[in-house]
Amino acid sequence: MQIRLIPTPRLVFLFALGMLPLALVARVPEVRWGVGVFNLALLFLVLADFRRAPATGMISLERRVGPRLAMGEREPVSLLAQSSAPSALRVEVRDEPPPAFSSEGRLLTLAVPAYGHGRGTYWVTPPARGDYAFSGLTVRVAGPLGLVRRQWRLAHTTAVQVYPNYRLAARMELLGRRSHLLRTGLHSLRRRGEGRTFESLRDYVQGDDTRHMDWKATARRRKPIVREYEVERHQNVLLMLDAGRMMTATVGTLTKLDCAVNAAMLVTHAAVTHGDKVGLLVFAEEVLAYLPPRAGKQQVGRVLEALYRIQPSLIEPDYGSAFRYLATRRLQRALILVFTDLVDARASARLLRHVAALMPHHLALLTAIADPALERYAREAPAAVGTVYRQAVARDLLEERAEALKSVTARGGLALDVPPEGLNLAVVNRYLEVKRRGLL
């Protein structure tokens, strides 16, 4: 352990004050002796202050941070200092979070009473999923005279895991309880819908489908009455995530795969809430992870564990391998959500052939994550030759995307092409629409 002596502003001020008489040395040479005596006395005080500063063994430090952090969320980190010194201390602590993390206020000053403990908190924001580690702690404690501070560094490692943003689901559920879902654009999560099993009668409200009017009950009660049906439960939902080269593109602070992972976690939470079974398949040039569909809240944790280490790679995705693997699982009819991107016609054609093969047995929902920059290039004013070429390429790509998505819907499937900021709500709403309309 390396211990350093750090001067305080008080020592700097006293030293500068002691040097002022040197301005008179030309007139009064004896001033030099006085300055020398002052500096020797100041040096003696500095050494005494350093010796009386609390030793390293008198202070123990502890870092408290959850082993599971949520990507993109502000997470608290607490530092605790325990003192065995007979007097109160002010302990300065500087933490060393992972370099990729952004942090707020990681230099803390803790007030620690005699034989007591002090605590401080700062915040970090992890930018990406994966395994990380906090490294060391740098500590400074001033001596009783406040002239110098003793500084040392502790190699204090804390491993943390950054998971997909699992708190999004909890916030949406809270919004639902507070009846604010319509403001955010999220449809109601009620269990009633357009299933096949009659559930109850209720008064008609504006916006209800007139096909559900119960005319006998309406005549009997002399007011509009509609039928409600119980939403089907125990259905299968499979999430297929492309982790290939197209999902490495960054939109804002997240990759497209990160956006897909967050949306997949929200669908998982919604499906489990509605009593459905949820499964997962992640692929690039090969299958990277697979979870068979299961029901229950424990499946949310399994999906979370499977996704937190997955990173996109600059590899062409092998759609054939992924869909052949899925075929060998002998999955019962399911809603299969394919999260990918559509860039060029050749890759899109390969993907669409495999998605079309699902249609007789499953309901496919192809979710393409749009690039806002592509839309911007297609709309920009052609001010130069380079801009014209860029605009033409962007428009061609957008037309190819639109044609690819139309081919999915023409075969009876579902398709979404939404920007990252609207992906979460769009995917969850489409899942809820499938449940309400009994499409699966």
Q: Is-contact 226 321, C-beta < 8 A?
A: no
Q: Which two tokens stand for residue 372?
A: 């806002």
> Apex CA 209: angle with CA 206 and CA 214, to 5°?
100
What's residue 118's pLDDT?
Answer: 93
- Report residue 385: phi and psi, to 5°: -60, -45
What's residue 169's pLDDT?
Answer: 67
Distance in Å from the first CA to the final CA of the chain: 65
Strands 334-340, 236-242: pairing kind: parallel
Q: Same structural domain for residues 139 and 248?
A: no
Residues in contact with 93: Cβ distance below 8 Å, sequence separation at least 6, in sequence order: 61, 79, 81, 107, 108, 109, 110, 120, 137, 138, 139, 140
CATH of the domain at 81: 2.60.40.10
CATH of the domain at 419: 3.40.50.410
What's residue 243's pLDDT?
Answer: 93
Global pTM reads 0.72
Q: Which of 131, 163, 195 is the last residue of a domain?
A: 163
Q: What is the CA radius of gyration of the chain?
A: 32
Q: Same structural domain for residues 416 and 323?
A: yes
Burial class of residue 252, CB neighbours in 10 A (0-12, 13-18, 19+): exposed
- Segments forming the whole domain that contains residue 332: 167-171+182-187+232-437
Q: Same structural domain for residues 133 and 240?
A: no
Residue 177 lies in a domain: no
What's residue 178's pLDDT?
Answer: 43
Q: Same structural domain for residues 10 and 143?
A: yes
Q: Which two tokens stand for residue 71?
A: 């990507």
* C-alpha span between 79 and 119 (Å, rounded): 6
Q: Same structural domain for residues 296 and 419?
A: yes
Residue 401 lies in a domain: yes
Residue 171 CA: distances (Å) to CA of 8, 221, 259, 288: 47, 40, 17, 29
* C-alpha span between 226 and 217 (Å, rounded): 8
Q: Same structural domain for residues 71 and 149?
A: yes
Residue 227 lies in a domain: no
The distance of Cα 180 from the centroid of its chain, to the nearest Å, equals: 23
Residue 116 lies in a domain: yes
Residue 192 lies in a domain: no
Q: Same structural domain for residues 154 and 296?
A: no
What's residue 343's pLDDT?
Answer: 66
Q: Is-contact 427 350, C-beta < 8 A?
A: no
- Could you give the 3-state DSSP secondary structure of residue 128? coil
Q: Same structural domain for residues 274 and 154?
A: no
384: number of Cβ within 10 Å: 9
For residue range 196-226, what is the model confidence (pLDDT) as tens digits?
555 678 888 776 767 778 888 888 888 888 8
Q: Same structural domain for residues 241 and 151?
A: no
Residue 210 lies in a domain: no
* C-alpha span between 243 and 284 (Å, rounded): 5
For residue range 20-55, what is the model confidence (pLDDT) as tens digits?
777 766 677 777 777 788 878 888 888 888 888 888
Q: Same structural domain for residues 261 and 115?
A: no
The number of domains in the chain is 2
Residue 299 lies in a domain: yes
Q: Same structural domain for residues 251 and 125?
A: no
What's residue 179's pLDDT?
Answer: 41
pLDDT tens per residue across all 440 residues of the chain? 677 888 888 888 888 887 777 776 667 777 777 778 887 888 888 888 888 888 888 889 999 998 889 888 899 999 999 998 888 888 999 999 999 999 998 899 999 999 999 999 999 999 888 899 999 999 998 888 888 888 889 888 999 999 888 777 666 554 444 444 444 455 544 444 455 555 678 888 776 767 778 888 888 888 888 877 656 668 999 999 999 988 998 887 788 999 999 999 999 998 998 889 999 999 999 999 999 999 998 999 999 999 988 999 998 899 899 999 999 988 899 999 999 887 666 667 778 888 888 887 899 998 888 877 777 777 777 777 777 778 887 787 777 777 777 777 777 788 888 888 888 888 988 998 888 777 87
Q: Same structural domain for residues 282 and 367?
A: yes
Burial class of residue 285, CB neighbours in 10 A (0-12, 13-18, 19+): middle
- Could you give the 3-state DSSP secondary structure of residue 250? strand
Residue 207 lies in a domain: no
